Chains A and B, each alone.
Chain A
Amino acid sequence: MKFQDAIKKSIKSFMNGKTPEAVGEVEDEGLYHTPEYFDEMEKDILGDLKDKESVDEDV
């Protein structure tokens, strides 16, 4: 498998909600950058944008 193919496979797995389990087991507090963390980040960033747009429309 080429490096590029491994990257694609890794991205696909992460987008399907999978995280490296073995790495998470080694860490005491588990993994921090999980798919849920990025979902929250997306909500924060894009939510703020939507709020701003709605305020602009009102003005």
Chain B
Amino acid sequence: MKMFNAPVAGANYAADTKNYAWHRPPDIVNYDEAVDYLINKLKEPEQLELVFSLLKIDTQISTVVSSILMQSISRGKFSIDLGILIAGPLARYISIIADEQDIKYDMGVSDKDRISITPTTLKMALGFIDNDKESPSLEQPVETPLVSPESGLMGAPIENGEASMDEQAKMLGMIEEEEPENGLA
């Protein structure tokens, strides 16, 4: 009967007992209320100091916003969906207070890391570039033959894959190894 010893789906929403904050209905479900809550929270000196310190060490505003939102979501203040919706107003507010304090910042939403698509990059991706026009940097690297070690654990195997008769006899214990001269085993 262990099969039926499990909660019904959605039971966490009706349970009286404490569970994780994000399993309960969120405290705030209104867009403007959520923005107000975060703006008021950012007015607290500790939060403000933390945000300014993060911006001064070149943290992007999008990263600061996402960490603030994650904190509130984990405490059950609002849902993940609402958190994503209010990211814009929160980032805008942080940019205003950073300007007020004359702190330089990066929003972190630019596409500078994106590789732009040009006819050349497209040809390269599809393999249409002619060999005659190919730039020296695109040349195929010359493969150097690997030199395998001759001895040791990684040594090359014997050509026919079999050990010699002496080695086989040694492995089977048919040949006794020389004992050390000082008598220590």
Residues of A bordering B, CB below 8 Å: 3-4, 6-8, 10-15, 20, 23, 27, 31-33, 35, 38, 41-42, 45-46, 49
Contacts and interface: CB of A to CB of B under 8 A. Distances in A.
Shortest beta-carbon contacts, A-B, top 3:
A14-B88, A10-B87, A33-B35
A6 to B, nearest CB: 5
Interface of B is mostly: helix
A7 B84 CA distance: 6
Interface in B72-99: 80, 84-85, 87-89, 91-93, 96-97, 99
Nearest to B85: A20
A20 B88 CA distance: 10
A58 B96 CA distance: 26
Contacts of A41: 93, 96
A4 B62 contact: yes
A11 B88 contact: yes
B39 to A, nearest CB: 8
A3 to B, nearest CB: 7
Interface of B: 30-32, 35-36, 61-63, 65-66, 69-70, 80, 84-85, 87-89, 91-93, 96-97, 99-100, 107-109
A38 B96 contact: yes
B99 A46 contact: yes
A11 B93 contact: no
Contacts of A13: 88
A23 to B, nearest CB: 5
A36 B93 CA distance: 12
Contacts of B85: 10, 20, 23
B169 to A, nearest CB: 62
